[in-house]
Amino acid sequence: MPRQTQLLHPPHRPAPARPAATLLLLRDGVEGLEVLLTRRSTQARFAPGAYVFPGGSLDAADAQSHGLASRRPQQDDAQLTHAIAAIRESFEELGVLLALHADGRWVDQQDLDALDRQGDFAAQCAARGLTLAADRVYWLAHWITDRDLPIRFDVPFMVARMPDGQQPVADESEQFEPVWLRPQDALARHAAGELHLIHPTIRTLEWLAAQASVDAVLALSATTEQPLWTSCPRGGWLGGRKVSVMEHEPAHGELELCCPDGQLAHALDWQTDHAVRLLRNVQRLTAPNPGFMTGPGTNSYLVGDPATGHVAIDPGPDEPEHIERLWSAAGGDIRAIVCTHSHPDHSPGAARLQALVEQTGRPRPPILGLASGPHSRHDSRFTPERELADGERLLLCGAAGEARHVLRVLHTPGHAANHLCLLLEEDGLLFSGDHVLNGSTTLVAPPDGNMNDYLDSLDKLLAACSEWQVEFILPAHGHVLGSAAQAIERLKAHRLARETKVAAAMRALPDGQLDDWVRLAYDDAPERLWPIAKLSLQAHVQRIESLGGFNV
């Protein structure tokens, strides 16, 4: 983990998250699945005026009401308590009660009219011999409120079918205007500014929009007593507006690195006109070369501080304004320039950056890396002034000569024969070049690219992550990745799964060629991507043949 001294913001303790429960009441409408939403009071402290699913905080009585509820064998006590709380809240807020009489009849409107929504819920149910249908309530998702908010909840989102013969009636205190909507209609109205929704509601509705019926939702939820997803989003700024980012989304790792305690202080907009500080000792400047192969652009990084000088990683294309901005962000003090590999969006700017530093009277920083291999493309020829050795350490030292920032060199061929990564030892950061990207898989194009080498290098990076407790990956394209080891494991699993499809295509068409196999092996990718995919497919074919052929 990064050193506390390198974090951008002082520690911040998020507000404690209160235990709560939410219930999604579902029904099958004429045009498909519908869900019940209700508007919160405009005076509410949390999400005022938002349309939400009914729910609220747990009461002590919920845990004491287990004897009033039916339960599935797999439901533990905590899950039962949350189901009871969800049932109680939907009754208090909307007058909907998931309960049955002793003879198995659902509570109807006549029963509801006899109950006091402000009275003792458990006592009233017990007096009428009602059993709470907690066994009909399933756990869909688990949401924990963003760390930056002053009021937070730890809340399971549970689902149940709306009982027949009941009509939701808002309490006109906490909730107003209950409405049945198809998830896609609710999202459309939100996009049009007609319906205020908060992030967990939006994401849950997006998931529900892909479901065909109540039975489909309940079948998925009933397969496990665990939530289908769990999220405590992180907040950042994008286009001047706050956005909430879930764990599986590309920007989550960057927010975790820059604002570990949930401080709402980091902008996610891609910047080409100035450097973005990720830590006190790490800056990123994105080159103005966005495109299909480069994403938002090539990330150039500066490691160091004013007392130690800086190492520039991947100066990028020979773009004069980008190089000048990189030099300026380092205060002109660049001690070394490292190119992770020789591709034209990574290394050509090195000579211009070196010359700019030298012109200002500072010592000439050496250009470091590995020479391009004999099979590299013509536009990817690169010869460093000094070759780096695998395991070599680059030191940035303070005035007393102590090492303040140490970059360990890791030779990682695969994407390119001369590819290397850099590991910032004290802070557990991996600068991955193009070997690990955020948002896409890297291209492995023979002959300079090699799939065996690529997979072996992933294993090497996994071992380094374990040894140096690496949590974050800083790629040459895309935002910072969190959960470094898991990201690498997912990437390897994806590659091996693709290889299984390649082998299957080769078995299906043993006399086929790459153009034939790509249609089968990449049938889940748009056809316009097949010419690029064919290059990595060739690398997979070569690896399969090196292992004994597709019948192995």
DSSP assignment of 163-185: PTT------SSSEEEEEEE-HHH
According to the model, what pLDDT value does residue 550 have? 64
- CA angle centred on 423, ends 370 and 410, rounded to 5°: 35
According to the model, what pLDDT value does residue 551 have? 59
CATH class of 275-482: alpha beta
Task: Check: pTM over 0.75? Answer yes or no.
Answer: yes
- Residue 43's pLDDT band (cuts 50, 70, 90): confident
**Is pLDDT above 80 for 212?**
yes
According to the model, what pLDDT value does residue 451 have? 97
- Residue 205's pLDDT band (cuts 50, 70, 90): very high
Bigger pLDDT: 4 vs 43:
4
According to the model, what pLDDT value does residue 362 have? 94
Pairing outcome for strands 386-387 and 367-369: parallel
According to the model, what pLDDT value does residue 401 have? 86
According to the model, what pLDDT value does residue 552 have? 46
- Residue 399's pLDDT band (cuts 50, 70, 90): confident
35 pairs with which residues across the strands?
A: 26, 181
Query: Three-state SS for 534?
Result: helix
Token pair in block for residue 488: 């690498």
Superfamily (CATH) of domain 17-232: Nucleoside Triphosphate Pyrophosphohydrolase (3.90.79.10)
Domain with CATH 3.90.79.10 in the chain: 17-232
Q: How many CB atoms lie within 10 A of CB 155?
A: 26
The lowest-confidence range among 71-85, 167-181, 451-465 is 167-181
Contacts of 225 (CB under 8 A, 6+ apart): 72, 74, 75, 76, 79, 139
Domain with CATH 3.60.15.10 in the chain: 275-482
- Residue 44's pLDDT band (cuts 50, 70, 90): confident
**Is pLDDT above 70 for 534?**
yes
Contact 47, 198 (CB under 8 A): yes
Query: Three-state SS for 442?
Result: coil
34 pairs with which residues across the strands?
A: 27
User: In angstroms, rounded to a whole number, what is the distance separating the alpha carbons of residues 160 and 53?
Assistant: 12
Find the radius of gyration of the CA atoms of the chain: 29
Q: For 30-56, what is the mean pLDDT?
A: 91
Q: What is the dihedral of CA 18, 19, 20, 21, to 10 degrees?
A: 150
Q: For 344-358, what is the mean pLDDT?
A: 96
